[in-house]
Amino acid sequence: MAEIFPEISRTFSEYILLPNLTKKDHISENVSLKTPLVKFRKGEESRISLNIPFASAIMQSVSDHTMAIALARCGGISFIFASQSIENQVEMVKKVKLFKAGFVESDSNLKPDQTLGDVMALVEKTDHMTIAITDNGSPHGKLLGILTSRDYRINKYDPGTQIKEVMTPFSSLIYAEDKISLEEANNMIWEHKLNTLPIVDSNNHLLYLVFRKDYDEHIRHPLELVDRDKRLVVGAGINTRDYKERVPELVKAGADILCLDSSDGFSEWQAEAITYVKETYNDTVKIGAGNVVEKEGFDYLADAGADFIKIGIGGGAICITREQKGIGLGQATAVIDVAKARDDYYKNKGVYIPLCSDGGIVHDNNIMLALSMGADFVMMGRYFARFDESPTKKMKIQGNFVKEYWGEGTERARNWARYGYLKEGKLPFEEGVDAYVPYAGKLKDNIDLTISKIKATMCNCGALTLPELHKKARLALVSNISIREGGAHDVISKDSDLGSFPT
């Protein structure tokens, strides 16, 4: 007969945290949410860590370059969706890596004999007002000048006017040579009251630009997640079909980490993809895998070489895999079981593999529960789909503002590549729905509120770090009656219609 899993399939809402002793130093200012993103050996540190335990889902309606920029600036990571052409995904990755972060390669460049008409066309295309003028119009040509909006007025000059007639020439520029530190560059910007500082080599070839606005923005985003070159960190989703063509292009574009996108990661297709990445790049390219819901799935992907493993099947707000196929597991039970497997793996092999809880998040407190049960970070779709930075339309329906949100298992997404057993272009039934989510405004405003709740709860649990939370957290199952007791009850809300209540 079939094997029967001994545990009841439970969700986050069926658990509640118990408080531990809150000491005087247990205040939000002392809480660190830094968490490992990729595996590491005992005694070592993860090569990539998140500053907040948040990742946005590998979905068309959630994670494009705009979302990736916004979330990285808050300390988390986005995995840009794979259900698009390789070329489009590569361009999104490039936009994140070029967005900012100290030393920036110039992506707006012209030659001195080009015209103001060319300038207008480039500004309209890139929305960048600072243009490097090089001898060959390339990002690393010999720097001949800089052109900004302060150098010309379009209604005063003829569009045919050559750039060299209005640009600020190299001889008048304040610049720095290679090997200058970012701190020194910023000091020069402030000392000379500059907006842009060019960085050149000994032959005056342009290397980078350093912008004043980037420094100002960094001050407002102290948890910004950047790589060694001070560029924003970004992930990219891949599938088990075209990874041999997709992965090289994503790596070349600068993707910091890859993640296999599948509703069920316990498969030979995923093991083969992981092996390809590890062997091709000698373990220098990191890759996450999943999704799994129990020990056997975790062990399989861990042995295959996964750098982190995602947990969850059928728990997403727009996912109907459990309904359609009768497969999956309650997210809380899945996280608890896989976390035990992870801890055993670490104890036996000395390798810690971070866990990502993907799905089942309804309220902010569910994030806290996932982390306390052993997840190192959470991946969310609905949470991020609500914000200005998601790629979907903002609409007004029946007087309420909403944003579109659809699953990768829908006919709309046409993402057949995430299902290893399907033939190309054929989606016989849907495992997701096409829906709306309430519009919630800007990402940073919402994420700051969520983080404040997490930090406050960690203080109640007597933990100042996530590893400490994993060790100290205590949980209890709750009844339906106690859930009701935990919310407002037996009162008349001031926002309610008093006429609808009996006197």
Positions annotated as catalytic residues are: 319, 418
Please identify which residue in the block is written with the tokens 């729905």.
433
Decide: helix, strand or coil at residue 191: helix
131 phi, psi to nearest 5 deg: -125, 125
Amino acid 501 reads F
- Bridge partners of residue 77, in order along the sequence: 55
- Bridge partners of residue 16, in order along the sequence: 476
The CA distance from 313 to 410, in Å, is: 15
Amino acid 179 reads K
- Looking at the chain, the number of H-run helices and the number of E-run strands are 15, 24
Which 8-state DSSP code applies to residue 417? G
The CA distance from 359 to 337, in Å, is: 16
Q: How many residues does the chain have?
A: 503
188 close to 146: Cβ distance less than 8 angstroms:
no
Torsion sign over Cα 434, 440, 446, 449: negative
368 close to 17: Cβ distance less than 8 angstroms:
yes
Find the DSSP H helices in 168-267: 182-191, 212-220, 243-253
Q: Identify the CA nearest to 467 among candidates 475, 458, 476.
A: 458
Q: HSE-up of 267 (CA within 13 Å, CB side)?
A: 18
